[in-house]
Amino acid sequence: MIVIMRADATKEEILKLKGKIEMEDCRVSVVQGEKHCILGLVGDTTKIDPSKIEANEFVERVTKVQQPYKLANKLFHPHDTVIKVNDKTIGGDKLAVIAGPCSVESEEQIVEIAKTVKESGAGFLRGGAFKPRTSPYSFQGLKQQGLELLKIARQETGLPIVTEIMSADVIDEFERDVDIIQVGARNMQNFELLKQLGKTTKPILLKRGLSATIEELIMSAEYIMSEGNENVILCERGIRTFETYTRNTLDLSAIPAIKRLSHLPVIVDPSHAAGMWWMVEPLSKAAVAVGADGLIIEVHNDPENAKCDGQQSIKPERFDSLMKDLVVIANIGKKSV
């Protein structure tokens, strides 16, 4: 940690602050610049709260040197994490493709889509049972019944199932029934939920919040990991910017950034990012080209009658032809589907 003092800080104030910091078991190096004095904090700075230092009126600002996460930090765990999900894996040299409808609507629908996407090469089935909706008057999902239908689709196809959890009170059912538990963008900093998920044994698919920085996303993974569950898959799904043509702006730079900062696998959701079905194919290819470990794509056999997000779902035949292109691009990055 580096503390930059104000130009008008007196020697006395600087020494007072130095002494205070050293009482927390840190060593402090003082570098006197032309105008500003700089304090370099050496040692275990994890106990130091930067906001306390910034509360000192002679402090200009505080800069962190080290990333605030440990368990998710590539610095301490240089090997990329590969997560086992039943007989499949996410991370490493495999491209994981998760496909399925926005929400589970009926047994017929989910089983049919599951069979189709499996045939095209998808490795996992997605489908919403509990749906976070901006409006309380919108369809909120089939809930427990949706989970049951996902289980049927899994039985029929063998595909592991991925679905979103919205509150901690159903965590036992999710741990028992679901193969990958998804945390949505809106709950990325629902810290109580993250802590509870940290106590489960199932892989967690953690989506980046609409305005979360890369560091905050990794910190939310750290919340889960710090409770014992180290199987976290990160997911870039578009961030909120001033551009309104697309629903969100897919931040593909986040993929190489996360790969440099963390050992956790990271996948991309092109469907929610753009919010328009005709963008899903080009963005999926770009995501694989940039180095993502996988994709989560909305596929629906009848988008115009889908109960939610039909505008961003692609039809099975487009998904099928997309998969063929993805295989070629994945190969360039030494990945296979």
Residue among 92, 132, 316, 320 that touches a second copy (CB under 8 A): 132
When asked if residue 143 is in the footprint of a second copy (CB under 8 A), the reply is no
Q: Which residues contact 255 (CB under 8 A, 6 or more apart)?
A: 236, 266, 268, 287, 290, 291, 292
Minimum CB–partner distance for residue 154 and a second copy (Å): 25
For a second copy, the closer of residues 118 and 247 by Cβ is: 247
For a second copy, the closer of residues 118 and 237 by Cβ is: 237
Residues 44-63 within binding reach of a second copy (CB under 8 A): 44, 46, 49, 51-52, 54-57, 63
What is residue 337's three-state secondary structure? coil
Instruction: Let me know how long the chain is.
Output: 337
| Per-residue binder mask for a second copy (CB under 8 A), 295-334, x = binder | --------xxxxxxxxxxx-----------x--xx--x--
Tokens 């931040």 locate to 251
Minimum CB–partner distance for residue 155 and a second copy (Å): 29
Minimum CB–partner distance for residue 115 and a second copy (Å): 22
Minimum CB–partner distance for residue 337 and a second copy (Å): 15
What is residue 332's three-state secondary structure? helix
Residues 150-209 within binding reach of a second copy (CB under 8 A): 166-169, 186-187, 189-193, 195, 209
Categorise residue 309: left if φ over 0, alpha if ψ from -120 to 50, beta otherwise. left
For a second copy, the closer of residues 56 and 89 by Cβ is: 56
The identity of residue 26, as a single letter, is: C
Residue among 79, 87, 201, 260 that touches a second copy (CB under 8 A): 260
Nearest to 133 by CA among 163, 107, 160, 166: 166
When asked if residue 106 is in the footprint of a second copy (CB under 8 A), the reply is no
Q: 231 with 245: CB under 8 angstroms? A: no
Residue among 159, 204, 234, 273 that touches a second copy (CB under 8 A): 273
Nearest to 142 by CA among 171, 158, 163, 116: 163
Categorise residue 81: left if φ over 0, alpha if ψ from -120 to 50, beta otherwise. beta
